[in-house]
Structure 1
Amino acid sequence: MQKIVFLDRETLAPQITLKRPAFAHELVEYGRSAPDEVASRLQGASIVITNKVAISADVVAQVPTLRLVAVAATGTDVVDKAACAQRGIVVSNIRGYAVNTVPEHTFALMLALRRNLIAYRDDVLAGEWQKSGQFCFFNHAIRDLGGATLGIIGEGVLGQRVAEIAKAFGMKPKFAAHKGRGDMGPLYAPWDDVLATSDVITIHSPLTQATRGMLSSAEFRAMKKKPLIINTARGGLVDEAALVAALDEGLISGIGFDVLTTEPPAPDNALMRIANRPNVIVTPHVAWASDEAQQTLADQLMDNVAAFVAGHPVNVVS
């Protein structure tokens, strides 16, 4: 009998179904779990499912029965992988499920900002169309994606899919070489070149010690074309205070963020203070969350659990 505990079931939409495993099991689901509840809720569990609830070294030490941490996401920064490795606990994640939803959200943000859709919608609601006295008006600049240079930070599955869509729009995608790295091969343009020449910069990198805060004041000052900054990856990749300062100084032209450093954000978060501006769009970490993508994730999640119990774990994170 395997005891499976899902610590934060509410991070999947209620209409998403979980396949029940064929092996003997007890499945316990909690909508959400506070940090001080985790160890007690996992007592006797061999498998834990978590999306955003941290599995720390302290938790690992308090749950001797634990054998698998099944992360219901691609990013595994919520898990102390070193502590799990010391105990022989397998960590698995989800892969490839967001190949449509995240790039589509990326371009939704990009299009809305390049074409000033929020500003024009606000004007229509305020009666500006009627005041104009003609069939259209030009209160805000409208820029095409065709012909624009798209700097892509992160060359994984999502970055590659974004590049494909960009080409369909007639954009010129450039993959940025990793910050601080020299020649990385023909796929990459130099980091400084991407900063200097991009009309839009979109981020699709994992959050690691090396990538945390990769865009800050120095990088924004190197952006000669005042690009849009799009982030559907992780909030900690960008220094949020420096980002807002860059917008205020005119170093960048707009912000489309689906992720923030702390989620949900505090009321005094730098981006939340300017979220009502027409050239700022903040969405609540939902780029990944189309119904199709969530169901694919849920199915893969339970397949990961079944494969582990069958003795051939898949999607193992080293």
Structure 2
Amino acid sequence: MKIIILDGYTENPGDLSWDGFSALGDLTVYDRTPPEAVAERIGDAQIVLTNKTPVTRETLERCPGVRYIGVLATGYNIVDIDAARERGIAVSNIPAYGTAAVAQFVFALMLELCHHVGEHSRVVAAGEWERCPDFCFWNYPLIELAGKTLGLVGCGRIGRAVAGIGRAFGMEVIGYDKFPAECPDLTCVSLEEVYRRSDFISLHCPLLADNRGMINDESIGKMKDGVYLINTSRGPLIDETALRRALDSGKVAGAGLDVVETEPIRGDNPLLGAKNCLITPHIAWAAKSSRQRLMDIAVENLSAFLEGCPVNQVNA
């Protein structure tokens, strides 16, 4: 049984072990695979694991031996699901592994926007506190979360975890979800009400055809003046040019973004250099414990498939 991992470096840059997969077959791990090399590297392998390397219909036509594709992530749009289904290829994903890590990261971004800890540390090191005639100083307004309204767009596992942390900070939490009946522990309201009432808005929804660019000039116009926006979900949910205008005008007081429309980010991204905009390189999920959990579930997925009882299959 040949097992090929097309792009293992992001999941495991060297601090985890691939032994769980090695125990299941003849394993080959590539750190990265360019698109033109995908079919050649898969060859006659039966098992393919991928994180962000596309597995297309053309690739599957050239690699008729493939029987299973494991996506080392939750989102599986990088696999041609229809082509896999037509060929009887099972495709599995990792539905829940980074909930705690991502929820924690939401507040890392939020608290940095509220306190600018990194910037204040930098200016202390530069001697500004030493030169200050007072016992303290601050370069930005300092914001207390208690009493603020946190609006969630998407109330799945991560959204609900964020809600719990928000309540611990003393925030009022409201949320919008397409399936509010599945969120009995949350105050679910309309999307319009989330926009209108929230001091902080955090996005936790999958990217779909009907929500691409949902944060745009029109929706931003419905928000409070001075709202803060957090996105650890998918970059294309935001019209980045519209957000840049809102940040520059002060309509949006700050944004904390772990994702952007094109990744890795390009030098011409309109949010680079925007006022009070934090951008991190898609790392909310990447705590070691979170990646280990992903690895363990991916091995369990493959083991279950080999035993004839597939789990977490997205094209059943």
Q: Same fold (TM over 0.5)?
A: yes
Match of 1:100 in 2: 100
Structure 1 residue corresponding to 2:289, chosen from 271, 288, 292: 292
Taking structure 1 as reference, are residues 251 and 231 closer, same or farther at Cα in structure 2, changes over 3 Å only? same
Ranges in structure 2 where 5+ consecutive residues have no aligned partner: none
Match of 2:270 in 1: 270
Moved over 4 A (4+): 21-24, 181-187
Taking structure 1 as reference, are residues 136 and 62 closer, same or farther at Cα in structure 2, changes over 3 Å only? same
Compute the displacement of 1:22 (Å). 7.6
Alignment of 1:43-192 (within 5 A): 43-178=43-178, 187-192=187-192
Q: Establish whether residue 301 from structure 1 lines up as the match of residue 305 from structure 2.
A: no
User: Contact conserved, 1:7 with 1:48, CA < 8 A, in 2?
Assistant: yes
Q: Distance in 1 between matches of 2:252 and 2:189?
A: 20
Q: Establish whether residue 29 from structure 1 lines up as the match of residue 26 from structure 2.
A: no
Alignment of 1:195-234 (within 5 A): 195-234=195-234
Q: Distance in 1 between matches of 2:127 and 2:197?
A: 38
Q: Establish whether residue 313 from structure 1 lines up as the match of residue 310 from structure 2.
A: yes
Compute the displacement of 1:309 (Å). 0.9
Q: Distance in 1 between matches of 2:6 and 2:177?
A: 37
**SS of structure 2 residue aligned to 1:302:** helix
Compute the displacement of 1:200 (Å). 0.6
**SS of structure 1 residue aligned to 2:49:** strand
Compute the displacement of 1:182 (Å). 11
Q: Distance in 1 between matches of 2:304 and 2:49?
A: 14
Match of 2:247 in 1: 247
User: Contact conserved, 1:226 with 1:251, CA < 8 A, in 2?
Assistant: yes
Compute the displacement of 1:88 (Å). 1.5
Residue range with higher mean Cα deviation, 152-161 or 264-273: 264-273
Match of 2:4 in 1: 5
Compute the displacement of 1:134 (Å). 1.6
Ranges in structure 1 where 5+ consecutive residues have no aligned partner: none
Q: Distance in 2 between matches of 1:27 and 1:294?
A: 19
Taking structure 1 as reference, are residues 71 and 182 closer, same or farther at Cα in structure 2, changes over 3 Å only? closer
Compute the displacement of 1:210 (Å). 2.2
Compute the displacement of 1:138 (Å). 3.4
- CA deviations 1:45-94 (Å, max 9, x no partner) are 11110001011222122211111110001111211112111212111011
Identical pairs, percent: 39
Compute the displacement of 1:24 (Å). 5.7
Taking structure 1 as reference, are residues 34 and 198 closer, same or farther at Cα in structure 2, changes over 3 Å only? same
Q: Distance in 1 between matches of 2:233 and 2:206?
A: 7
1:304 corresponds to which letter in structure 2? N
**SS of structure 2 residue aligned to 1:5:** strand
User: Contact conserved, 1:19 with 1:299, CA < 8 A, in 2?
Assistant: no
User: Contact conserved, 1:198 with 1:225, CA < 8 A, in 2?
Assistant: no
Compute the displacement of 1:273 (Å). 3.7
Taking structure 1 as reference, are residues 214 and 11 closer, same or farther at Cα in structure 2, changes over 3 Å only? same
**SS of structure 2 residue aligned to 1:254:** strand
Taking structure 1 as reference, are residues 160 and 184 closer, same or farther at Cα in structure 2, changes over 3 Å only? closer
RMSD: 2.0
- CA deviations 1:239-283 (Å, max 9, x no partner) are 111111110121101111111111111111122343xx5x22111
Q: Distance in 2 between matches of 1:185 and 1:311?
A: 33
**SS of structure 2 residue aligned to 1:20:** helix
Compute the displacement of 1:122 (Å). 3.7
Q: Distance in 2 between matches of 1:21 and 1:258?
A: 30
1:46 corresponds to which letter in structure 2? Q
Q: Distance in 1 between matches of 2:96 and 2:166?
A: 19
User: Contact conserved, 2:69 with 2:91, CA < 8 A, in 1?
Assistant: yes
Which TM-score applies when normalising by structure 2? 0.93
Compute the displacement of 1:197 (Å). 1.0
User: Contact conserved, 2:24 with 2:303, CA < 8 A, in 1?
Assistant: no
**SS of structure 2 residue aligned to 1:255:** strand
**SS of structure 2 residue aligned to 1:193:** helix
Compute the displacement of 1:23 (Å). 6.2
Compute the displacement of 1:225 (Å). 3.7
1:253 corresponds to which letter in structure 2? A
Which TM-score applies when normalising by structure 1? 0.92
